[in-house]
């Protein structure tokens, strides 16, 4: 199927969203925003039980000081990741190569709190530099964060969690001289929606845009 070919546009209105099949609507709305980064969130309970869960909702908040945001679905049911973050105050974000797509997806299964997703799916749990939350040994980028604050979205009870970066472990080959991290060189895993995984390639980099100058490659 040639998705680049010109075709008729299909329109969905608010009434369509209310009446359409639940699974179709879920796939439609989750995949429509496009390619997202995949992060495995590593936490550990106060009792020492490790947890690993896949998220596609990590976003940049600020660089000085360095903050990242994470969207967590409503906690009307057990959310082991969120429970551990609240009680221990720390968590890790981990990005892995595309070779680990199946294992990464499997962390979304509903394992019991006492089960370690690390062990169940075959990832290596590593606690680095005295940081309490486990990181993924197979990761090419791991971030250790300290919980800073959170917001509850009134519209649907979703949680937006803000974490301060305390540690960053990254393969040196991915870092350019100006600090740019080229994740495409690491064949890092990305996703579309809830169950489609892909990789990305770098098209180009451009200098800071100014209104009186054309776009300039760097």
CATH number for position 96 = 2.30.110.10
In a domain, residue 177? The reply is yes
29: left (phi over 0), alpha (psi -120 to 50) or beta: alpha
pTM above 0.85, yes or no: yes
Q: Tens digits of per-residue pLDDT, 97-109?
A: 999 999 999 999 9
How would you classify the pairing of strands 135-136 and 141-152? unpaired
Q: Tens digits of per-residue pLDDT, 171-190?
A: 999 999 999 999 999 999 99
In a domain, residue 213? The reply is no
Q: Tens digits of per-residue pLDDT, 123-135?
A: 999 999 999 999 9
Asked if residue 95 lies in contact with residue 188, where contact means CB atoms within 8 angstroms, the answer is yes
Q: What residue numbers bound the domain in which 140 lies? A: 33-198
The tally of domains found in the chain comes to: 1
Per-residue confidence (pLDDT) for residue 174, from 0 to 100: 96
In a domain, residue 217? The reply is no
């Amino acid at each position: 199927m040639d998705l680049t070919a010109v075709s008729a546009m299909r329109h969905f209105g608010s009434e369509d969203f209310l009446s359409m099949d639940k699974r179709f609507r879920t796939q439609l709305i989750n995949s429509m925003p496009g390619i997202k980064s995949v992060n495995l969130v590593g936490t550990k309970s106060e009792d020492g039980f490790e947890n690993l869960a896949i998220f596609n909702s990590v976003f940049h908040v600020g660089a000085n000081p360095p903050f990242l945001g994470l969207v967590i679905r409503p906690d009307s049911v057990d959310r082991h990741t969120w429970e551990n973050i609240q009680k221990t105050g720390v968590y890790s974000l981990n990005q892995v190569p595309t070779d680990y797509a199946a294992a990464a997806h499997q962390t979304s299964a509903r394992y019991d709190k006492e089960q370690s997703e690390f062990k169940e799916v075959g990832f290596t749990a590593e606690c680095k530099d005295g940081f309490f939350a486990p990181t993924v040994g197979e990761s090419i980028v791991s971030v250790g964060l300290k919980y800073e604050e959170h917001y509850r979205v009134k519209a649907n009870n979703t949680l937006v969690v803000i974490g301060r970066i305390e540690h960053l472990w990254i393969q040196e080959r991915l870092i350019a001289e100006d600090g740019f991290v080229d994740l495409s060189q690491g064949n890092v895993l990305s996703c579309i929606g809830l169950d489609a995984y892909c990789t990305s390639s770098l098209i180009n980099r451009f200098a800071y845009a100014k209104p009186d100058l054309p776009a300039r490659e760097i």
